[in-house]
Structure 1
């Protein structure tokens, strides 16, 4: 594991711990799916590092079996993670949306992408070898729709006056901006990855900066808005 990976894991863990702390202090049910999502990220990114271990040669039957099996690459793990991302974020936005039409649209998007993904892997047999083409683009479009629905309801209610007091605004804005900013990298990744080392270095640095900003936004959203909940609790007493 290089230094960039270490930094990435640390900021992920800090964001997940911040979300858990916020929930313990507030018991806010609306953010629970997002906190689950953060811990799933921590688990997947940690467990997915088994690929580094497989770079070695150990005289162990289990190790040799894994290294010679379809699990030698962690592609299967991240294919599952892509679907879980859509599920947890969809559940998160369903909890905060109030309009039934918006909730139904979220359900439709989740079911459509999930069924399309499963169908693709069943027909192609690439589950252990490659991700679905343009999966990140589909995920970005889905999240873009979820956040727009949230913004629409926010602008249509009195909550717009106090948007800065809710972690939901920071979480949804952070995940939207991250997907919009890194999508071009993944769209053109296939054209440059094998032939352009400069692009690989730029992509790694760009993703590191984008991830630091993203998880810092999550951490800020949880810890900054916690003060407003505490003040509200004091006033009620």
Structure 2
């Protein structure tokens, strides 16, 4: 829904950050489709080709495309929506350190990176995006942006991803309890994830329609 809306209103947004946010939504949709390859393999009887390989599960797709890819995007996004030189430096330095750390983790813990949620990278990813969002909110509170905050796409992006991170991240660390022997937890986790995804992407959809590009 948010991708379709974004493509429809794309021509109305002249800001490079707004346009690339819409492109980012398309990117998320694309890698979600790619990450579903284990289901495609089962559906078409190809599971034996990836069984007992590093590609049997799709953790590596999310580690690369979400944990690393979205960190780079949101760091860039907030960097370009913040005017404070100090905040920009913080974002730049933590992102560079994150990239070096991620490369090192992939090099020395390749099997874990491919076959599990790379929790050290994931934690760094969450930390950086939350820091970026908080720096954005702090600048907004101390500037004239506060007068028109509800008209800017960047405010809704920051709010959506911040709330999503706060709720979604703890669920990942309880994945070990997501088993058929505890279906109550499985249903609860699925419901929470459904609701926060609906909330975030609905917020993005609303913002793309409501926000006036001249304020962004």
Indicate whether 1:121 and 2:91 are aligned: no
Structure 1 residues 86-126: Cα deviation after superposition (integer angstroms, max 9, x where no partner): 01111111111111221111112212222212212211222
Report 1:24-103 matches (<5 A). Answer: 24-56=11-43, 58=45, 65-66=49-50, 69-81=53-65, 82-103=67-88
Structure 1 residues 23-56: Cα deviation after superposition (integer angstroms, max 9, x where no partner): 3113121223322221111001112222112114
Aligned equivalents of 1:186 and 1:65: distance in 2? 28
Pick the aligned partner of 1:142 from 125, 128, 141: 128
Provide the secondary structure at the position in 1 that maps to 2:64. Answer: helix
Provide the secondary structure at the position in 2 that maps to 1:196. Answer: helix
Structure 2 unaligned regions, length at least 5: none
Equivalent residue for 2:175? 189
Displacement, 1:183?
2.2
Give the stretch that moved more between structures: 167-176 or 181-190.
Answer: 181-190
Q: TM-score, normalised by structure 1?
A: 0.81
Aligned equivalents of 1:186 and 1:66: distance in 2? 24
Number of positions where the alignment pairs a residue of Structure 1 with one of Structure 2: 212
Q: In the superposition, relative to structure 1, how do residues 168 and 94 fare at CA in structure 2: closer, same or farther (>3 Å)?
A: same
Task: Give the RMSD, CA atoms, in angstroms.
Answer: 2.2
Indicate whether 1:221 and 2:207 are aligned: yes
